[in-house]
Amino acid sequence: MPNALATLALALWPIVTVAFFQKLPPGRAVIATLLIGYLFLPEPPAGFDFPLIPPLTKHTIPALSALAMWAVLYSRNFNLLPKSPVTNFLFALFIFSPIVTAILNPYPVLWGEFVIPAMSFKDGIGLVIQQALLIIPFLLARRFLYRAEDQRDLLFAFVIGGVVYSAPMIVEVVLSPQLNRWIYGYFQHEFAQTIRFGGYRPMVFLYHGIWVAFFMLLAILSAFALWKTRQLETNWHLLLVALYLTGILVLAKSLGAWLYAGVLIPMVALAGQRWQMRLAVVIAAFTIAYPALKGVDLIPQGKILWAAESIDSERAASLAFRFNNENRLLERAKQKPLFGWGSFNRNQIIDTATGEAETVTDGRWVILIGQFGWLGFLAEFSLIVLPVFFLWREIRHRDPKDYSPFIVPLSLMLAVNAFDMLPNATLTPLTWLMAGALTGYAETLRHGRNAYLSADRLQWRPVL
């Protein structure tokens, strides 16, 4: 169980947020509040579980604190809604569809002698609050990180965070993942899953080693993007940092992150912006289409498993396990296709002899389809990947000098994060930060284009 220090760290974070907003520009304060909180606050079960609302944890306390500072310091510009009607529709669907899910699940589910309770209207309200809390980082980033200089700050923050995190990662590679237990009093996952390739993969203060490796991937891509756009006078320092972080990623022992790095590092470091953006669009399109493709058996699972077996038999077995669970969970989801089964493991297949879940939900997409149906999946994943398509629409006929050089690597990073949510549930506040920042910039470009079309004397000017 979490110790008193874990509770104290979470309780004091709103005060830390106030200090950030007093000392830093608002964009940097938002980044510091959410990024540092994500990296160093304790994972659930540490949190505050008040009646009638979802638990307040490291994923919601920093965001709520920053939202409160927005309301207090910038009350005259407290506009939560995006400008795009499509985004607003998805926003409403994302937050309020759980009400319909609760209404459509008024009966208990029976598995032999075991009973999973029905959902009530109160459960639906709790899920609405959960969804509203989840999307706050998106709203903050759209408001405060829409400018090119803010996106530059976000990339630098990822790099600095990666360098700082590399020290405790090295400690855990050598000594095994123990920092969370030593400092916060508990181990946040299964220790067996930290043993990979004859050694340990670090977890530090995140949920799993996969999450740590993926954050390090974001830091590496950020460093290469900043190096390529020459953001420091001593630009070779950024290249050295990028190469150092790449070495740390190797130590993280995550095959998925290694594969992403093998494709994305050359793209960010060597390819032009148009090719990077095309790849981001392809990845985003495949991600949003994956469940439908899988539902009609167009995903070549056998060939994927054969390729994985040629790399590592243990990872191939893990992937086969995931595919098998996905197939069973999709069959279960087909019984409630639009709004899903709701909470309390109603979406799972239960062993009638023991009452335990037979299925395991690893990927974020299969969790969403099971709990909130296809509409819930489309709402969340579309909010994440649509900024990539919006930006592609706006920049494909523009000179690269006429838009922020940082939106392309950020789009690629966001698309890959969404793609990684197919095998894993790596939705984090950083995902929403990137999506919100790109949504805000896409709205800025759209506004500039519309102004140009409506009055010839007006034309877009780059932010930088």
pLDDT in tens, 33-71: 999 999 999 999 999 988 878 899 999 999 999 999 999
pLDDT bucket at 197, cuts 50 / 70 / 90: confident
Q: Which helix (H) or strand (E) holds 18?
A: helix 4-23
DSSP three-state, residue 357: strand
Residues whose CB is less than 8 angstroms from the CB of residue 449 and which lie 6 or more positions away in sequence, other chains included: 394, 460
* pLDDT of res. 142: 94
Lowest mean pLDDT among 70-84, 144-158, 390-404: 70-84
* pLDDT of res. 462: 35
* pLDDT of res. 402: 84
| Spatial CA neighbour of 124 closest among 275, 328, 340 | 340
* pLDDT of res. 458: 29
* pLDDT of res. 461: 35
Q: Is 330 in contact with 366 (CB distance < 8 Å)?
A: yes
* pLDDT of res. 449: 56
pLDDT above 80 (res 315): no
Q: What is the mean pLDDT of residues 199-218?
A: 95
Q: Which helix (H) or strand (E) holds 259?
A: helix 255-270
* Residue located via tokens 């709701």: 342
pLDDT bucket at 454, cuts 50 / 70 / 90: very low
* Per-residue 3-state assignment (H helix, E strand, C coil) for 368-436: HHHHHHHHHHHHHHHHHHHHHHHHHHHHCCCCHHHCCCCHHHHHHHHHHHHHHCCCCCCCCHHHHHHHH
Kindly state the tokens that stand for 218: 């974001």
- In the chain, domain spans: 272-464
- Tens of pLDDT, residue by residue over 252-277, are 999 899 999 999 999 999 999 999 99
Label the pairing between strands 114-116 and 109-111: antiparallel
pLDDT above 80 (res 332): yes
According to DSSP, residue 349 is labeled -
DSSP three-state, residue 269: helix
The chain-wide mean pLDDT, for the chain, equals 91
pLDDT above 80 (res 129): yes
Residue at 101: amino acid letter: T
Q: Which helix (H) or strand (E) holds 280?
A: helix 273-295
Distance CA 372, CA 358 (A): 20
* pLDDT of res. 460: 31
Q: What is the mean pLDDT of residues 199-217?
A: 95
Alpha helices in 24-145 (DSSP H): 26-40, 61-73, 85-103, 121-134, 136-144
Phi, psi of 357 (to 5 degrees): -70, 130
* pLDDT of res. 9: 97
Distance CA 260, CA 264 (A): 6
Label the pairing between strands 109-111 and 195-196: unpaired
Q: What angle do CA 249, 159, 196 make, to 5 degrees?
A: 15
Indicate if the alpha-carbon torsion angle 217, 219, 224, 225 is positive or negative: positive
Side-chain half-sphere of 333: how many Cα atoms within 13 Å?
28
Q: Which helix (H) or strand (E) holds 110?
A: strand 109-111
Using alpha carbons only, how large is the chain's radius of gyration in Å?
22
